[in-house]
Structure 1
Amino acid sequence: MNSHSFQTPPAPALWRTDMACHLDRLRQARAPIFYRLEGRAALHKCFETPADTLNEDAKRVKLIEASVSLVVERSAGTFAGRGSKRAAAALRLADKLAVGVETGTPQPTLGSSVYMRRLRADMITALLDAAAHYADINLRTVTVINRKWRFTARQLRKVTAAQIKRQFRTHLQRAGILDEPGFLVAFLHGEYEPTTGVFQLHYHVLTTAEKADLLLSRLRGRQGYERTATGAVPIKRCKIENRPKQFSYLLKSFWPERPVVTIDGVEKRVRANRRIKGKFHTLHLQWLNRCSLADIMVINNCVFRNGKFHGC
């Protein structure tokens, strides 16, 4: 048979398998560019629109003012009654948000929806860029909950995000996790349980798959990282399937209210998010207003500088 003899083409099923493998290799080869461009293009779908954030801040102004039940003569700058300092601080925050609504330029406070949208867009874009050279299989998002990070309104007023950050870093250090290779970026978040009147704080983490395994094996069951009263696991790892959606979840612009209900004799949290009500809504905004980005962010084996993460 000469060199021009007819050769039987591969079976359709085998051809499709070979092509799928080829496309997968091609996608992995261009992963940094693919993840960066795809992530940025899809990121806007994960955020509120600028108009929505302006409306949200305007609503927060009204809710803060409504929650301040003291008799206030704002024009004279005088306040009367018990808790006057807290009322004054709340109204100063309302004024700060109102300026942003009126001018379109938000004041730099984590209590502003407009400011948080811009901050989140910058931070999540920076994370997408920094993690672009990782394949999905090598990354994990992790939610970390500690039973000791449960606070009543009175307790929350006395604790700071910086204190919780130091405690978390101490726990990671004691467990030897900070000394292990692989980057870690975490942001503090909170939820309010109206049933118990308690705020539950926790961290949303992005890290390598290996380091996520260490969070589970070295923290679970120790130092307060135990199941909550409603059965929530202390360390929950998730594989990466949708970078824009999952990365944007790491840094959120609001704390939700999630009541606890009893179903068949078992207490469970309602999964749907809803706005925190009344004075507790004002309290959590005031708490965020006292925080800086550095207070709520934990980083390990990388550096955040000039709007970018380096060394991930």
Structure 2
Amino acid sequence: MVSNCYIEPSRREVYALFTTIPENSSVLLGMLYLFNPVRFMAAFRQHLYRSAAKMGVAMEGQLIAFLHGAYDPTTKSYPLHIHGIAVGPMVQIVDGLRHLRKYRPACPHDGRDAAITPVLVQRGPLTNMPDPITYPMKRFWGLRETYMDVDGLRKAYNSKAVRIRGEAEIEYLRFLDRWRLEEVTLLMGMHATSAGLMVT
């Protein structure tokens, strides 16, 4: 059961935090106003169904996912991605995304960030609640500068999150102000009520 962003522990259920970064999910500076997060999250839902079908498993369990982004001043683009939490069989389905072409690892000279794992799943008990739930909902987008190494792989500098400044900051704040929370969120196996999130 999920209520007020709290997942009641169960010995029979598996929980996992995840981050997914589909191919071609970066948006150029100045073009963020054209990006539609509703379509992006709907596409992610279809990817999950495709993952389940590929593995031959039923769409069971629960999932809550949120759109997030950063800004890369090197490429002058926003690498968009999804943070979330999966419960029960949905963990396996999220993990199965790595077998879809859309989530293949970066290759030399294709311009994608090799430091990023397209599908990152962190299993284990959830502690310090509700932080694991509220973290994916963060509204802060940080600066993430990249470079091209000698092998033609794009990698990120290892640095702490830095605030976005200038034109990019104005653009992404306007973007966040334009869309409602429910439009940048995906719920599966649960629904929102006045009392919180309830399992369906």
- State the match for 1:308 in structure 2: 196
* TM-score, L = length of structure 1: 0.54
Q: Would you say 1:126 and 2:4 are equivalent positions?
A: yes
**Which structure has more helix as a fraction of its residues?**
1
2:20 aligns to what SS in structure 1?
Answer: strand
Per-residue displacement from partner, 1:187-217 (whole Å, max 9, x unpaired)?
1111111111110111111112532222122
C-alpha deviation, 1:241, in angstroms: 4.4
Correspondent of 1:237 among 99, 113, 121: 121
C-alpha deviation, 1:173, in angstroms: 2.4
C-alpha deviation, 1:309, in angstroms: 0.8
1:243 aligns to what SS in structure 2?
Answer: coil
Moved more, 286-295 or 219-228: 219-228
- State the match for 2:143 in structure 1: 257
* Structure 1 unmatched runs, 5+: 1-31, 33-123
Per-residue displacement from partner, 1:137-168 (whole Å, max 9, x unpaired)?
72111111112211102432211111211211
Q: 1:176 to 1:221 in 2, by over 3 A?
A: closer
- State the match for 1:220 in structure 2: 98
C-alpha deviation, 1:271, in angstroms: 4.0
Percent of matched pairs sharing the same residue:
21
Distance 1:174 1:134 in 2: 28
Query: Is residue 171–residue 223 contact of structure 1 (8 Å, CA) maintained in 2?
Result: no
Query: Is residue 261–residue 270 contact of structure 1 (8 Å, CA) maintained in 2?
Result: no
Correspondent of 1:187 among 40, 45, 66: 66
Q: Would you say 1:140 and 2:24 are equivalent positions?
A: no
- State the match for 2:109 in structure 1: none
Structure showing greater Rg: 1
Distance 2:144 2:12 in 1: 31
Amino acid at match of 1:243: M
Return the structure number with greater relative CO, CA threshold 8 A, min gap 6.
Answer: 2
**Which structure has more strand as a fraction of its residues?**
2
Taking only aligned residues, the RMSD between alpha carbons, in angstroms, comes to 2.7
Q: 1:209 to 1:158 in 2, by over 3 A?
A: same
1:15-164 mapped onto 2 (5 Å cutoff): 126-128=4-6, 131-135=7-11, 138-164=14-40
Correspondent of 2:85 among 201, 206, 225: 206
* Structure 2 unmatched runs, 5+: 107-111
Per-residue displacement from partner, 1:77-129 (whole Å, max 9, x unpaired)?
xxxxxxxxxxxxxxxxxxxxxxxxxxxxxxxxxxxxxxxxxxxxxxx97121x
C-alpha deviation, 1:242, in angstroms: 3.8
Query: Is residue 136–residue 241 contact of structure 1 (8 Å, CA) maintained in 2?
Result: no
C-alpha deviation, 1:297, in angstroms: 0.7
C-alpha deviation, 1:230, in angstroms: 2.4
Count how many residue pairs are aligned between Structure 1 and Structure 2. Answer: 187
1:266-305 mapped onto 2 (5 Å cutoff): 267-305=155-193
